[in-house]
Amino acid sequence: MTAYAGDGEGFAVTNPFSLVDVHNEWDPLEEVIIGTATGARVPIPDKGLFTLEYPEYGTVDKIPSGPYARHIVEETEHELSMLCDELTKIGVKVRRPEARDHAAKLATPDWQTDGFYDYCPRDVFLTVGRTVIETPMVLRSRFLEPFAYKNMLLEFFESGARWISAPKPRLGDDMYDMDAEPGRRLGNLEPAFDAANVMRCGTDLLYLVSDSGNELGWKWLQSALGDTYTVHPCRDIYTGTHIDTTIVPLRPGLVLLNPERVNDNNMPDYLRGWDHLWCPEMTETEYAGEYPYGSPWVGMNLLVIREDLVVADERQPALLRALEKHGINVLPMRLTHARTLGGSFHCVSLDIRRTGTLETYR
């Protein structure tokens, strides 16, 4: 691996101080945003929501729209608060988004919807070096989700961080194809991707091409980051939402992989020389409603605190043992309703600052 030495004009070299400063998934965590379940709801039905997130319900009108049950929200908020407390105890600064009314309507000339939640800041922003990027999210109901973090963004900007936003996608009905096979349902008419489709490994980033991130999104991100970085498109690995239940870098040269999705044929070339920790079979966990919003593999959705410590689901003993065999200690916690809300510890967090420098891990 080599440290990046820029000439002052590259994307990675900006202001000498910035509250935002993170280069990978494993450097020691200094500051993080943890989401909130307050006000969480399933948005009103629309073509995009059905096509990308709820096709198992058969028709658009059967989407279970409305607020999540009170006990789900309250239990999740309690567990998120416990997570915040544990992170604070080990010296990590924690921020939380402001409460918002997700029942409020929002509209463009093409559509109208209500909101979703602020549970998963990982989906909304991508932090790369000293830059925070608002990504062009694929669901209409999340169009204005960055507003929950506006005061933080202003503070980051004033500290010296670079703050940019991808072009807002139109998200017209022609962007969603209900009849396409999984992984092809999100159109390629304009850049669209959730930030959680990306994993950072220094000067290399992995970008999942799927129903939550299209080819134009990959091209836009590479263009925005410039020559300092290489964004590797990961195709035909996982058709669904986000990369962090499929590929989880743990430290330089070691990656946790989902054995149901990753194999020798579709392994990203960038990872072929790494050591592969194949995730053990997940212990089945509970969910509310007719169908889960997250698969059992949300159990491998963990937050790396540093190379030898992660936050992971206490209900996954086989995974915890596997991590410990590789010299990684575990802070065991739980998000009881992770499969109902669609996210666990990596999803509900956004690392703002880690101790480290930009390096190349090849």
**DSSP annotation of 179:** T
From the list 23, 242, 337, 346, the catalytic residue is: 242
Structural tokens at position 132: 């925070």
- Backbone φ and ψ for 115, nearest 5 degrees, come out as -95, -175
Write out the H or E segment, with its range, that includes residue 331: strand 329-333
Tell me how crowded residue 21 is: count the other CB atoms within 10 A of its CB. Answer: 25
How many whole angstroms separate alpha carbon 317 and alpha carbon 251?
Answer: 21
How many whole angstroms separate alpha carbon 313 and alpha carbon 303?
Answer: 10
How many whole angstroms separate alpha carbon 25 and alpha carbon 309?
Answer: 12
User: Do 147 and 100 touch, CB atoms closer than 8 A?
Assistant: yes
From the list 120, 234, 279, 347, the catalytic residue is: 347
Structural tokens at position 227: 């020559």
Residue 326 is among the residues annotated as catalytic for this protein: no
Residue 269 is among the residues annotated as catalytic for this protein: no
**Of 302, 297, 294, the residue nearest 340 (C-alpha):** 294
Q: What is the β-pairing status of strands 93-95 and 247-251?
A: unpaired
How many whole angstroms separate alpha carbon 353 and alpha carbon 356?
Answer: 9
Residue 279 is among the residues annotated as catalytic for this protein: no
Structural tokens at position 295: 């698969």
- Backbone φ and ψ for 86, nearest 5 degrees, come out as -65, -40
From the list 21, 46, 194, 211, the catalytic residue is: 194
Beta strands in 146-270 (DSSP E): 162-165, 198-201, 204-208, 230-234, 247-251, 254-257
- Backbone φ and ψ for 312, nearest 5 degrees, come out as -140, 165
Q: Which residues pair with 278 in a beta bridge?
A: 257
Catalytic positions are 194, 242, 347
